[in-house]
Structure formats: C-alpha cells, structure tokens
Amino acid sequence: MSHLPERKEKICLNCGAALHGRFCHYCGQENIEPKDSFWHLVTHFVYDIIHFDGKFFSTLKYLLFRPGFLSHEYLRGRRADYLHPIRMYVFTSAFFFLIFFSFYQKEEAIDIKEKRDTLEEVIEDLQNEKTRLEKKIQKDTASFAAERLKEKLKNVEAELAMVQKDSSLIDSVKSLSNGSFTLVSFDKETKYRELKSVQQYDSVQASLPERERDGFLKRAVKRQDIHLNEKYNNDGSAILKAVTNKFIHFFPQMLFLSLPLFGFLLLLLYFKHKQFYYVNHVIYSIHLYCALFIIILSGLWLNSILTMISHQEQDWIGGVFTFAGFFYLYKSMRNFYGQRRAVTILKYMFLLFLSLFVMLLLFGVFFLFSAFTL
C-alpha cells in the first residue's frame, strides 16, 4: 500500500471502474495520484525488498523445519502469508545453480590431442598421466576409487618402463589411447567407423538401395558420431568432456522437467486419495525441490568452510547431508499425506525406485541431446 494521497475522483485510472474505497474491486489498482516523486520511488523499492525478504524468510523457516507444512497450507487455501511456490522455486533454483556453477562445478578444459608420432611425446604423456594419477590417489580417500586408480597407475608405470626399454612398442600403449566416440551402437558394422566426414557417410548412403539405407534415427546418430569424431580429431576423451560440460549446464532444465514427472509418480502412489489433485502433488514437489536445493547448498558451504580451516576434505559432510535429504523426503511425505509410518515407508521406497528410473531416463535423453547440440 502506497503512502501517497488518495485521489478524490472515484474512477479507476486503469480500467475505468467505479470505486468504493482505496482499491479497485475489479483490477486491484490503488487509487492514488499518478505523479510520483523520486523519494516515493525509493521508499517503494525499499518496501518491496523488505516485504519480499520478510515473506521469503518466514516461508524458508517453515520449509526447512516443518517439512510438508507449506504444501498443506497451500492445499487448505492459506497462501497470502507465504511466498508463492513458483516464485520460491525460481529464486532458490536460480541462486543454487548460480553458486554451484560459479564455485563448485568448473568446466573441464578440452585439450584435443594430436596423434603421437615420437617416442619422446609418448614418454612425456605417460609421465604426465602418472603424476596426475598419483595426485588423484592422494586426494581421493574412497577405498573403491583408490584401488581403481592404483590399478591404472600400475598399467601406466608398466607401459612407461616398456617403451623406455623398447621404443618400437609405442603403438602398444593403451593407457593414453583416446579412441573414437560412439553415442549409440546399433549394430556391429565397422565400415562406417572408417569414414572421415559426414559427406562421406551421406555419399555411402546415397549409393545404397533405398531399402538398405539407415532409418531416420540411426542415420541421425551415425552422422553425429562422425561429426563429433571429425570435430575433436577422434579424441574420445575430449568428446566425452565436451558432452559432459554441455550436459551439466542442462541440469536446471532437466530438474524443472522432472518436477511434473515426480508429481505424476506421487499421483500414482496416492491415487486412492481423492482429496489430492495432480496440482497438489506438483506443489508438494516444488517445495521438496526447494528444500533439497537449500540442503545441498548448505552441505557444500559447510564442507568449504571446514576444508579451509582444516585444509582437508571433509568426506563425512556429504554423507550427513545426503541422509538429511532422504530423511526430509520421508518426513515431508508423512506430514503432507498424513498416513501411518509403515505405509509411508513403503510408499517412500517405491517412490525412490520409480524416481531413480525416471531420472536415469532423463539423464539418457539429456545426454544425447547434449551430444547433438555440439
């Protein structure tokens, strides 16, 4: 509400409706003098920020410490005191991905390697790979990952000793093999792997009888395979890095697309509960995603702070906040849907399984999409 004086004329300047009070009953516009002062613009701006922050932080309190409460309030029609779920999602997701991409997820540098022709180049690459693996083993404390890296390191050391002893064996080096890249393998044909350009592939296809040509999907994938290998000089690792970088930047879109799918899974699990419409499940999903964004970001921040203090990676923080996310999901389901603990746990397990299937499907689709956008 503005502090400007109310107009004496009782006609809305926006829609022309007759007024019976300070606000138009038809469009909601306040009936005040249209001439604003600069001071009024400043005070209005400050008020809007304070008003938004007040709503945001009160909503945030209920979101984090009373799982399922906001969704239940929205279901009951109590919405004026809380930030709208869509605005909440836009704000938290934008803030989360801004911080995530700025500080925690850097794009991998893509170094397209040329063919190694000399013994010196092979030895230098093997030594660099050995140094990289040794540093990674020291940093990575997970036992299964460390064992895998140690096995790679043994292979690199063995091949380094081999080429230093016999220079004619440089073609036998496997640790540095970049390899070509294949999106999807439809068959065991090898003739297309020898093609160097998309034009050559199109020429081969045109020379075949129509019934022997590749279909639309197979043709699109093979053309993209050849295009990527041509663009990145048959360097499989460089192609994979490029696709992964592009894929990671599609995370916001992928998560947004998963929202209605997650709501549909909840609709299937609670189809007997007629008081819950599909939109109620989607609103619950939005609140859940917002909370998980904040939980993940809190874990990343805490890990960064403790790492700066102790100069060591705090692996236990990831486990604690992962457990917190799973517990939040269970607690919010129990509070919002109001079922008994045993029934909630059973549906919770089903939801995790179905969500894993849906996310794997989305990952595959978006990974392919990322490859086709390069």
Global pTM? 0.73
Q: Can you spell out the DSSP letters for 205-238?
A: HHHS-GGGS--HHHHHHHHHHHHHHHHTTT-HHH
* Structure tokens belonging to residue 81: 């005191």
Which sign does the torsion angle of CA 85, 87, 93, 99 carry? negative
For residue 217, which of 209, 229, 225 has the smallest C-alpha distance? 225
3-state secondary structure of 11: strand
Q: How far is CA 67 from the centre of its chain?
A: 23
Q: Can you spell out the DSSP letters for 30-71?
A: B-B-S---HHHHHHHHHHHHHHHHHHHHHHHHHHHHSTTHHH
Q: What is the pLDDT of residue 113?
A: 61
Phi, psi of 6 (to 5 degrees): -75, 145
Q: What is the pLDDT of residue 187?
A: 54
Q: What is the pLDDT of residue 191?
A: 55
What residues pair up with 32 in beta bridges, in sequence order?
6
How many H helices and E strands in the chain?
12, 0
Per-residue pLDDT of the chain (374 residues; tens, 9 = 90+): 556 678 888 898 898 888 888 888 888 888 887 776 667 667 666 666 555 566 888 899 999 999 999 999 999 888 888 888 998 999 999 999 999 888 887 776 676 665 555 777 777 878 888 888 888 777 765 555 677 778 888 888 888 888 788 777 776 676 665 555 677 665 555 555 567 788 888 888 888 888 888 888 888 888 888 888 888 877 777 888 889 889 999 999 999 999 999 999 999 999 988 889 999 999 999 999 999 999 999 999 998 888 888 877 777 888 999 999 999 999 999 999 999 999 999 999 999 999 999 999 999 999 999 999 98
Q: How far is CA 187 from the centre of its chain?
A: 32
Residue labelled with tokens 């909601």: 28
271 conformational bin, left if phi > 0, alpha if psi -120 to 50, beta if neither: alpha
Q: What is the pLDDT of residue 49?
A: 58
Residues whose CB falls within 8 Å of the CB of residue 141, separated by 6 or more in sequence, listed in order: 313, 315
The secondary structure of residue 314, as a DSSP letter, is -
Q: Give CB contacts under 8 A, 24+ apart, made by 158-165.
A: 159/126, 160/123, 160/126, 160/127, 160/130, 163/119, 163/122, 163/123, 163/126, 164/123
Q: What is the pLDDT of residue 73?
A: 94
Phi, psi of 367 (to 5 degrees): -65, -45
In whole angstroms, what is the distance from residue 150 CA to residue 147 CA? 5
Q: What is the pLDDT of residue 144?
A: 56
Q: What is the pLDDT of residue 253?
A: 94
Give the largest CA-CA distance in the chain: 99
Inter-CA distances, 338 with 21, 71, 335, Å: 43, 12, 5
Crossing angle of helices 251-269 and 341-372, rounded to 10°: 150
What residues pair up with 6 in beta bridges, in sequence order?
32
Environment class of 12 (CB within 10 Å of its CB; exposed 0-12, middle 13-18, buried 19+): buried
The secondary structure of residue 13, as a DSSP letter, is T
Q: What is the pLDDT of residue 181?
A: 67
* Structure tokens belonging to residue 367: 């990974």
Phi, psi of 215 (to 5 degrees): -75, 180
Inter-CA distances, 128 with 113, 131, 136, 138, Å: 14, 5, 12, 16
